[in-house]
Amino acid sequence: MRMRHWRHWIQAAALSGGLLLGGMTAFSAYATSVEIEDAKKQVSALEEEKKKVESTLNQLEGLKADTAAYVKKLDTSLSSLADELEDLGSRITLKEDEIEQAQIQLEEAKREEEHQYDSMKLRIKYMYENGQNNLIDMVMESGSISELLNRAEYVSQIAEYDRKMLTAYASAKEEVAAREQNLEKEHGELLVLQESTQAKQASMQKLMDSKQKELDSYNSKIAMAQDELDQYNADIKAQEEQMKRIEAEMKRREEEARKKAEAAGKTYTVSNLGNISFKWPCPSSSRITSNFGDRESPTEGASSNHKGIDISASTGADIIAAADGEVVISTYSYSAGNYIMIDHGGGVSTVYMHSSKLLVGVGEKVTKGQVIAKVGSTGYSTGPHLHFGIRSGGTYVNPRSYVSP
């Protein structure tokens, strides 16, 4: 994000005596279109940075929306898994209850089988030990053959009953044991399914936590981008207000000059530039690298509507006053770098930009040919040169029409 860079630059411009956001108190002694041009460039640069932040903000909003949708989907899946685990827990509990009941029934069946077996053994033992006498008694005590047969049949039925009961108890025990085994198997399968579902839930929860952190990060970045966007809007608004103040100050000064002229019994008019004899401002070089008027911007931030001429020269070369006058600006500008403006009277002034060093201050009287600064490459510049401009009645004119090497 570039907000700190721009805010730092605006503060630097304020401290240098250029564009200030705090009011008119630190205006240079002579408000000009240079300040307005600077403010416009600053607004343009801020607008470009603002667009980048808006683009980033839109991207972040899109990523946030995608992540939020995915988080919602994960949340639905986690909710479904939680329901599934709850159902599995209930089924496992029910199965454990069934296994417990089967174990109780199995123990009961074993006891019944053992009891029947013990009873049968006692009867068999009794019949074996008393078999001979019982047989004689049964024959002697029977009143008839029919009664004898009935008694023999009774003994046989008892033996058959014991055998059937023993078989039935054994079968019941085996059935309960088989059911218990099946229940244990089903219980084991449910536990495996539960473990698998819990692992899936843990993995999904981990992903959910990761996505939630990602979402929180997007929210934080969006908040920062929004704060930065708000700051750009505030800076842009401040620059626009500054331009209004500069324009108002220019009108005020022009009106003040007009009133002074009228009070002195003079008519306030723009001097005829042809009446001023200008001297070439860079004695060491006559090489013009950029002419007055429309051009392709040589570097980012530089104007494509060139309001002067660029004279290529070595760093530190002399810059001289093109005509007699009073220094009304000697400061640093974001785009012009170190620059000077000289008022020649009658609404005519000259500007000298991108200097490495300024040698005169505001209020000083200078004479034509006096060294006022050194060539440099400050502000919007691609190399050491002097930007020289002539301003008449608030409008820049082509210097080539009034001065030559």
Structure confidence at residue 212 (pLDDT): 86
147, 285: one domain: no
Q: What are the strands of the beta sheet with 357-358, ordered from one edge?
A: 318-320, 371-374, 357-358
26, 58: one domain: yes
Strands 365-366 vs 371-374: parallel, antiparallel or unpaired: unpaired
- Total domains in the fold of the chain: 2
357 and 220 within one domain: no
Q: Is 68 exposed, middle or buried (CB count within 10 Å of its CB: 0-12, 13-18, 19+)?
A: middle
- 357-367 pLDDT, tens digit each: 999 998 899 99
The amino acid at residue 164 is K
Residue 48: per-residue pLDDT:
83
In terms of pLDDT, which residue wins out, 263 or 261?
263
- Please tell me the predicted confidence (pLDDT) of residue 283: 95
Q: Which of 226, 250, 268 is the last residue of a domain?
A: 268
User: pLDDT tens-digit profile of 114-161?
Assistant: 776 666 666 656 555 554 445 445 444 545 445 445 545 555 665 666
Question: Is 163 found in the same domain as 153?
Answer: yes
Q: Which of 252, 268, 284 is the last residue of a domain?
A: 268
Higher pLDDT, 383 or 117: 383
pLDDT of residue 332: 84
pLDDT at 288 over 70: yes
pLDDT the model gives residue 237: 82
Does 384 share its domain with 261? Answer: no
Residues 16 and 42 in one domain: yes
Residues 248, 183: one domain?
yes
Q: Are residues 4 and 91 in the same domain?
A: yes
- Domain with 227, as residue range(s), is 1-268
CA distance 367 to 277: 12
Spell out the residues 6+ positions from residue 219 whose beta carbon is closer than 8 angstroms to its own. Answer: 64
- Whether residue 343 has pLDDT greater than 50: yes
Most confident of 89-103, 114-128, 175-189, 342-356: 342-356
The mean pLDDT of the chain is 75
* Structural domain ending residue among the three candidates 247, 268, 289: 268
